């Protein structure tokens, strides 16, 4: 038979536990098929894979529409493009008149390699950090994504190039923050704090200014 356990030391009931500053954990879902993502009812962030801005934008539109049908405000959902990156290029200065057309010719993006890594499936960007910044800026301006989850193929080499190359260019253009005004992951993602126990206070609204996540 089951018996109720009695703690030997100090204990507290649930309502006495201090609430989380962000009101609840951030729920992130990897959507392999954006057209069928039941988790959109509750998810805060959905990851999608797309080989182009049009494909990413279509997935984002479907997910936001599904959130609206579920009774949620579309802006309560963040759609991030998951992209593997191989920053083999060494340029740190954008070439004159460079645009998205160079990318669309297939110079930089493919569907993996001959031996795809399980840790980073999906589209692969191969090129330089400045060209990657151009790509991110173009997709963001087109409304294709709220942000990006970049997965370096060679972290030891690529992380430094991402920070000092890609991120620096986006910051210079005012598309990426130079500091984090909040203190929680939810605030960093620009998500409102959900209403919960009155002790957490009223629900917050997402910031009016939107930057790349």
Identify the pLDDT of residue 95: 38
On whether residue 155 sits in a domain, the answer given is yes
End-to-end CA distance of the chain: 52
Identify the pLDDT of residue 7: 65
What interhelical angle do 53-69 and 129-141 show, nearest 10?
Answer: 40
The dihedral built from the CA positions of residue 186, 191, 196 and 200, taken in this order, carries a sign that is positive
Mode of pairing for the β-strands spanning 45-48 and 147-152: unpaired
Count structural domains, the chain.
1
DSSP assignment of 3-67, as one string? Answer: -----SS----GGGSPPPTTSS---EEE-S-TTS-GGGGT-SEEEE--SSHHHHHHHHHHHHHHH
Identify the pLDDT of residue 46: 94
Q: Which two tokens stand for residue 56?
A: 């990413």
On whether residue 5 sits in a domain, the answer given is no
Identify the pLDDT of residue 135: 93
Residuewise pLDDT in 10s, the chain (213 residues): 455 666 677 766 666 667 778 888 899 998 877 666 777 888 999 999 998 999 999 999 999 999 999 899 999 999 999 999 999 865 543 333 333 333 443 334 444 444 433 444 568 898 999 999 999 999 999 999 999 999 999 999 999 999 999 999 999 999 998 988 888 999 888 888 876 544 444 445 555 555 666
Identify the pLDDT of residue 104: 40
On whether residue 141 sits in a domain, the answer given is yes
On whether residue 129 sits in a domain, the answer given is yes
Q: 23: phi > 0 → left, psi -120 to 50 → alpha, else beta; which?
A: left
Identify the pLDDT of residue 123: 85
On whether residue 2 sits in a domain, the answer given is no
Q: Which two tokens stand for residue 148?
A: 């990006």
On whether residue 115 sits in a domain, the answer given is yes
Identify the pLDDT of residue 34: 66
Question: Containing domain of residue 91, as a range?
Answer: 25-192
| Number of neighbours of residue 183 by Cβ within 10 angstroms | 10
On whether residue 15 sits in a domain, the answer given is no
This prediction's pTM: 0.72
**What CATH number does the domain containing 181 carry?**
3.20.20.30
On whether residue 16 sits in a domain, the answer given is no
């Amino acid at each position: 038979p089951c018996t109720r356990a009695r703690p030997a030391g100090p204990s507290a009931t649930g309502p006495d536990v201090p609430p989380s500053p962000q009101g609840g954990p951030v729920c992130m879902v990897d959507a392999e098929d954006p057209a069928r993502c039941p988790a959109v009812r509750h998810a805060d962030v959905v990851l999608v894979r797309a080989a182009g801005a049009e494909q990413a934008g279509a997935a984002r539109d479907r997910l936001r529409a599904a959130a609206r049908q579920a009774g949620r405000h579309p802006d309560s959902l963040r759609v991030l493009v998951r992209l593997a990156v191989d920053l083999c290029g060494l340029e740190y200065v954008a070439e004159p008149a460079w645009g998205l057309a160079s990318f669309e010719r297939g110079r930089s993006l493919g569907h993996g390699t001959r031996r795809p890594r399980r840790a980073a499936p999906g589209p692969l960007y191969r090129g330089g950090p400045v060209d990657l910044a151009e790509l991110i800026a173009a997709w963001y301006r087109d409304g294709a994504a709220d942000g990006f989850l970049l997965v370096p193929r060679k972290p030891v080499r690529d992380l430094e190039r991402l920070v000092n190359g890609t991120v620096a260019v986006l910051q210079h253009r005012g598309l990426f923050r130079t500091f984090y005004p909040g203190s929680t992951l939810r605030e960093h993602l620009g998500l409102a704090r959900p209403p919960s126990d009155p002790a957490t206070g009223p629900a917050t609204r997402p910031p009016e200014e939107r930057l790349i996540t």
